[in-house]
Amino acid sequence: MICKNRILLLLIIVLAISPRAGLTLGNQDERSGNSSVIAGENTLPSFHNGDIILRKGSNLVSDLIAGNFQDCEDMSHCGIILVDPSGSFVVHTISGAISAQDGIRKEPIDSFIQNADNHKVIVLRSNSITDAALIRSECERLLRQKIGFDHEFDADDHSTVYCSELVRDVYQATGMPDFFHYTSRYGIRFIDFDTFFDTRLFTRIYQTY
């Protein structure tokens, strides 16, 4: 855990010295939720397996990530929506440095939204998914394997994943091409969050603001 925390701290420092880093101190980590329930304020639409949900977290790491990607409406985290008879869920991954659990997890969509800063979320639908059942199957496989969080942010190593890397890897496992945009910061190659705002790739179906 010490090594992981050091790597995450290094990433924060790297991002913080970037000219685009919007540095504000959040007062909430991923362990806690906001008090109100978004489902009580807005009627959620009918989601599909493989829809992508974006949110802005309420902590320093989220502020740094959001500040380093252009044209992403302050979003800093993403997950994949799965739907079953009991409701809608989000499969996503978080570092154990800011969460009680490290790596991939599945949580109810209401809980995921509650952990967003001011409940600010966007839901997108891929313009090219051909088999949503394969999306579910791949997510369930990764959940069974308990894939850890990618603290090195290595987009080419699939043994651990960060949030947008998880989305890309699940999509590619179903036969979809790698249409994701990439950017680099001080030698670290990232999946660029602006991928999700490319209207050739995704259609916005829901937002809370």
Tens-place pLDDT, residues 17-41: 333 333 322 233 443 333 333 343 4
Residues 6+ apart with CB under 8 A from 174: 129, 130, 131, 134, 135, 138
Adjacent-strand bridge partners of 15? none
Per-residue pLDDT, averaged over 178-206, amounts to: 91
Sorted by where each starts, the structural domains of the chain and their CATH numbers stand as 2-25+45-207 (3.90.1720.10)
Cα gap 27→60, rounded to integer Å: 8
Confidence of residue 2 (pLDDT cuts 50, 70, 90): very low
Q: Is the pLDDT of residue 63 over 60?
A: no
Two structure tokens written together for 151:
């603290």
Question: How many residues are present in the chain?
Answer: 209
Tell me which range, 2-6, 59-63, 192-196, is most confidently predicted by mean pLDDT: 192-196
Q: Is the pTM of this model over 0.85?
A: no
At residue 34, the pLDDT reads 34
What average pLDDT is seen over the chain? 79
Cα gap 6→18, rounded to integer Å: 19
Query: 46 vs 82, which has greater pLDDT?
Result: 82
Query: 115 vs 92, which has greater pLDDT?
Result: 92
Confidence of residue 7 (pLDDT cuts 50, 70, 90): very low
Residues 6+ apart with CB under 8 A from 15: 21, 64, 65, 67, 68, 185
Two structure tokens written together for 167:
């989305």
Q: For the chain, what percent of residues have pLDDT higher than 70?
A: 71
Per-residue pLDDT, averaged over 44-66, amounts to: 76
At residue 133, the pLDDT reads 93
- For the segment 122-153, what is each residue's pLDDT rounded down to a tens digit? 999 999 987 899 999 999 999 999 999 999 88
At residue 5, the pLDDT reads 46
